[in-house]
């Protein structure tokens, strides 16, 4: 990404509005930590403002955030000894090498050493120590003067009240919250007023400035600089601080007892080439997701004091340092729904369905919510704007609701009161809820699915019966159904002779179901009814399906590499179940299938040249409305099976490529659409004639 995305501003009015929005967002961001924008949205807005100003210099408003520390939105009354500036940004390796070349051009010589350290995602603070005692804490403010937040002394981990030596010095660094501190802060705030913080950064910002909170939250400080503090700015330490390279100053800071990132996996290093800088950038980026605190980039600084002094400062940022920005890992989006999934061991895990949002290179639609207690703790509601976190390969997670964006329309999240998979009770004694059936839950749900009408269609086998059989130890999976004995069934409560014989007969009949339904009954991910039919028709036998690798599977229409890679191992995993079915004599072939080799000519697919006589060959058919006549009893799935048996492709929506619409009674919008598109429409009776040979 060379051109960073920006919010396009059409005219002076939009420009003025954008400036106003950016200034108030920045004031909220650096103030109480309750901005309505996520960083990405803010950065796009400011880039839009910059672009507009470049094209219309005559319209530039004095309050514009561009070129100012903190967007010019904050002020302070404690002057800084040396300005506390922002950092310029680069976004790519090319950006970095260009920037390095610029610095070296300015200096007229190569920079020998660079220090490379994480860019901590908190807020900058200056800690003034006098004679070794922490005397004053000051925020960055507008860069020239900040706000006194000394009231926070004693709550900031890593910033000792006494240094190891009685020196007078100013330490600069970042105040932030670790994941654990953030969790604790949210708990406290919820207990106090029922709301939470949107993310660790805003929690740290709000906490640092809060004066009269009835609860105290802990934060963490990481130092990234030290400078002489007047009036003591001529002593031995002051001289050293002016002469030492940055890396040595960082060692000194740590020796004084202040926390630095040295003890973390992303410790600062000294690099002597662009290659080494870039490899460290990669290392830090890779470690990011696992860190217990947030970073939003990597800071690269000329290490030597002489290089820094010669490069100097711009108005907004030093010229000897730059931030290599990493993609945003957090965005604000909406929580649409919560779904409850039951895992292999019976754990019932909530998952958030989100308004899709692009995050760290992928579109996020779902995020983990951990467990019900966690949802309650975070005070999440349906319809909430939420902060969502994702970095690298981690599973995206919902961090917190953005409570100041609530509209009043949000709704409570309803927790399930029975297991959503099998309908059994839920064991709620632990934070992680579990189906009381544990591992058997999945088994119960999968047997229930397998015997369903569109799969093996075993009548008279409801959930309670299956539970009975499982509890008696007769069945563990649906393959066991085929070895049930009459005596076993009769031993079950409420099971008479007639129902026993009926059930045994239904089970016997199920053995004759075609491969497509047997495959579907297996419940392999991504193989629903129509996909199972397609796979069965393509391969013809279970043997061929089991022998297929991911590549062969992709020959089936609708199976891409991703799906193929899911199906292959899952089929392998349930091999014992399939073997059991084979041994029981369950049908493992698809009727009407002609192996490609035996068709007329070396045809690739069984459906086309192999079976030219089928009445719907090559047609895409949609069914709508209620069936009548000979097809009156056909379910939608059976209609689709019929279409495919007749060589057609069953589809659920009408488009220009639809060949035929079978419109039954009360056909509605699909019929209208077919008429509009000029798609051929037929009645169920006419259609029955067309496929009469197959009924």
Nearer to ligand NAD, 140 or 649 (CB): 140
Backbone angles phi, psi at 434, to 5 degrees: -135, 150
From 9, 18, 19, 87, residue interacting with ligand NAD (rule: CB under 6 A): 87
Residue 186 labelled as part of a binding site = no
Which residues contact residue 507 at a Cβ distance below 8 angstroms, ignoring those fewer than 6 apart? 458, 481, 482, 484
> Which listed range, 112-120, 393-401, 640-648, 657-665, lies at the site for ligand NAD (CB under 6 A)?
112-120
One character per residue 211-240, x = contact with ligand NAD (rule: CB under 6 A): -------------x----------------
Q: Is 119 a catalytic residue?
A: yes
- Closest contact distance (angstroms) between CB of 449 and Zn ion is 13
State both tokens at 111: 């920079």
Q: Is 120 in the site for ligand NAD (CB under 6 A)?
A: yes
Reduced 3-state DSSP string for 327-394:
CCCEEEEEEEEEEEEECCCCEEEEEEEEEEEEECCEEEEEEECCCHHHHHHHCCCECCEEEEECCCCC
* Total interface residues for Zn ion by CB under 5 A: 7
Q: Is 198 in the site for Zn ion (CB under 5 A)?
A: no
Q: Is 71 in the site for ligand NAD (CB under 6 A)?
A: yes
- Closest contact distance (angstroms) between CB of 285 and ligand NAD is 15
Cβ 519 vs Cβ 527: under 8 Å:
yes
State both tokens at 651: 């589809």
Residue 441 labelled as part of a binding site = yes
Q: Is 310 helix (H, G, I), strand (E, B) or coil?
A: helix
H or E stretch including 119? strand 114-120
Cβ 127 vs Cβ 134: under 8 Å:
yes
Write out the DSSP string of 585-641.
Answer: T---B-TT---GGGSSSS-S-TTTTT-TT-TTTT-EEEEESB--GGGTT--HHHHHH
From 15, 31, 43, 531, residue interacting with ligand NAD (rule: CB under 6 A): 43
Q: Is 446 in the site for Zn ion (CB under 5 A)?
A: no
Q: Is 422 in the site for Zn ion (CB under 5 A)?
A: yes
Residue 37 interface partner, choices Zn ion, ligand NAD, none, CB cut-off 5-8 Å depending on type: ligand NAD
Residue 174 interface partner, choices Zn ion, ligand NAD, none, CB cut-off 5-8 Å depending on type: ligand NAD
Work out the number of other CB atoms within 10 angstroms of the CB of residue 41.
Answer: 17
- Closest contact distance (angstroms) between CB of 71 and ligand NAD is 5
- Residue 71: left (phi > 0), alpha (psi -120 to 50), or beta? left
Q: Is 399 in the site for ligand NAD (CB under 6 A)?
A: no
C-alpha distances out from residue 397 to 39, 269, 376, Å: 17, 31, 15
Q: In what order do the strands lie in the sheet with 114-120?
A: 88-90, 321-325, 295-302, 114-120, 269-271
Residue 42 labelled as part of a binding site = yes
> Which listed range, 22-30, 249-257, 479-487, 597-605, lies at the site for ligand NAD (CB under 6 A)?
22-30
Q: Is 119 in the site for ligand NAD (CB under 6 A)?
A: yes
Which residues contact residue 164 at a Cβ distance below 8 angstroms, ignoring those fewer than 6 apart? 132, 255, 256, 257
Give the CB-side neighbour count of residue 582, counting CA atoms within 13 A. Answer: 12
- Active site residue: 119, 331, 390, 673, which one? 119
Q: Is 39 in the site for ligand NAD (CB under 6 A)?
A: yes
> Which listed range, 180-188, 331-339, 417-425, 591-599, lies at the site for Zn ion (CB under 5 A)?
417-425
Residue 646 interface partner, choices Zn ion, ligand NAD, none, CB cut-off 5-8 Å depending on type: none
Torsion, CA 463, CA 469, CA 475, CA 480, rounded to 10? -80
Binding region for ligand NAD (CB under 6 A): 25-26, 29, 35, 37-39, 42-43, 70-71, 86-87, 117, 119-120, 124, 140, 174, 224, 299, 323
Question: Which residues are part of a known binding site for NAD(+)?
Answer: 39-43, 86-87, 117, 140, 174, 301, 325
Residues recognised as catalytic: 119
Question: Which residues are part of a known binding site for Zn(2+)?
Answer: 419, 422, 441
Binding region for Zn ion (CB under 5 A): 419, 421-422, 424, 435, 437, 441
């Amino acid at each position: 990404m060379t051109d960073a995305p920006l919010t396009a501003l059409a005219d002076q009015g939009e420009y003025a509005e954008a400036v106003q929005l950016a200034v108030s967002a920045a004031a909220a961001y650096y103030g109480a930590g309750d901005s309505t924008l996520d960083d990405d949205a803010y950065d796009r807005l400011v880039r839009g403002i910059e672009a507009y100003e470049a094209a219309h210099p005559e319209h530039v408003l004095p309050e514009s955030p561009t070129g100012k520390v903190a967007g010019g939105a904050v002020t302070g009354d404690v002057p800084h000894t040396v300005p506390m500036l922002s950092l310029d940004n680069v976004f790519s390796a090319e950006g970095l090498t260009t920037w390095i070349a610029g610095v070296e051009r300015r200096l007229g010589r190569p920079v020998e050493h660079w220090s490379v350290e994480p860019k901590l995602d908190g807020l900058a603070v200056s800690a003034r120590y006098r004679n070794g005692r922490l005397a004053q804490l000051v925020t960055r403010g507008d860069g020239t003067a900040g706000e006194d937040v000394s009231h926070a002394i004693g709550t900031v981990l890593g910033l000792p009240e006494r240094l190891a030596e009685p020196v007078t010095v100013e330490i600069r660094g970042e105040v932030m919250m670790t994941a654990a501190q953030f969790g604790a802060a949210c708990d406290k705030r919820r207990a106090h007023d029922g709301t939470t913080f949107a993310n660790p950064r805003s929690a740290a910002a709000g906490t640092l400035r809060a004066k009269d909170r009835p609860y105290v939250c802990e934060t963490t400080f990481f130092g990234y600089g030290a400078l002489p503090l007047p009036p003591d700015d001529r002593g031995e330490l002051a001289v050293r601080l002016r002469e030492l390279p940055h890396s040595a100053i960082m060692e000194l800071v740590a020796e004084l007892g202040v926390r630095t990132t040295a003890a973390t996996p992303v410790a600062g290093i000294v690099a002597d080439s662009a290659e080494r800088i870039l490899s460290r950038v990669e290392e830090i980026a890779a470690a990011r997701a696992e860190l217990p605190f947030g970073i939003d980039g990597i800071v690269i600084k000329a290490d030597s004091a002489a290089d820094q002094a010669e490069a100097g400062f711009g108005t907004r940022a030093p010229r000897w340092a730059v931030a290599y920005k990493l993609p945003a890992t957090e965005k604000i989006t909406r929580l649409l729904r919560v779904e409850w999934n039951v895992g292999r061991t019976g754990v019932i895990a909530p998952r958030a369905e989100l308004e899709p949002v692009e995050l760290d290179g992928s579109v996020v639609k779902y995020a983990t919510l951990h467990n019900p207690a966690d949802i309650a703790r975070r005070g999440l509601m349906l319809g909430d704007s939420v902060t969502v976190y994702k970095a690298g390969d981690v599973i995206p997670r919902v961090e917190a609701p953005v409570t100041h964006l609530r509209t009043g329309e949000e709704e409570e999240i309803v927790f399930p009161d029975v297991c959503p998979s099998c309908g059994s009770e839920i064991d709620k004694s632990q934070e992680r809820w579990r189906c009381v059936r544990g591992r058997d839950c999945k088994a119960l749900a999968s047997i229930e699915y397998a015997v369903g009408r569109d799969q093996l269609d075993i009548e008279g086998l409801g959930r309670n019966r299956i539970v009975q059989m499982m509890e008696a130890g007769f069945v563990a999976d649906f393959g066991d159904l085929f070895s049930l004995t009459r005596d076993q069934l009769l031993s079950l409560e409420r099971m008479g002779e007639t129902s026993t014989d009926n059930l045994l007969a239904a089970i016997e009949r199920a053995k004759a179901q075609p491969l497509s339904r047997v495959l579907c009954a297996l419940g392999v991910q991504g193989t629903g009814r129509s996909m199972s039919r397609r796979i069965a028709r393509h391969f013809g036998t279970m043997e061929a399906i089991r022998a297929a690798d991911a590549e062969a599977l992709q020959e089936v229409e609708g199976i891409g590499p991703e799906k193929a890679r899911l199906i292959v191992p899952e089929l392998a995993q349930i091999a014992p179940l399939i073997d059991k079915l084979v041994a029981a004599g369950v049908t493992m072939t698809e009727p009407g299938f002609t192996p490609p080799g035996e068709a007329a000519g070396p045809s690739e697919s069984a459906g086309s040249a192999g079976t030219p006589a089928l009445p719907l060959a090559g047609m895409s058919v949609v069914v709508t409305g209620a069936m009548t006549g000979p097809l009156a009893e056909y379910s939608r799935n059976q209609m689709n099976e019929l279409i495919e048996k007749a060589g057609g492709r069953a589809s659920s929506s009408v488009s220009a490529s639809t060949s035929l619409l079978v419109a039954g009674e009360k056909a509605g919008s699909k019929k209208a659409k077919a008429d509009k598109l000029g798609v051929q429409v037929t009645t169920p009776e006419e259609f029955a004639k067309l496929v009469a040979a197959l009924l």
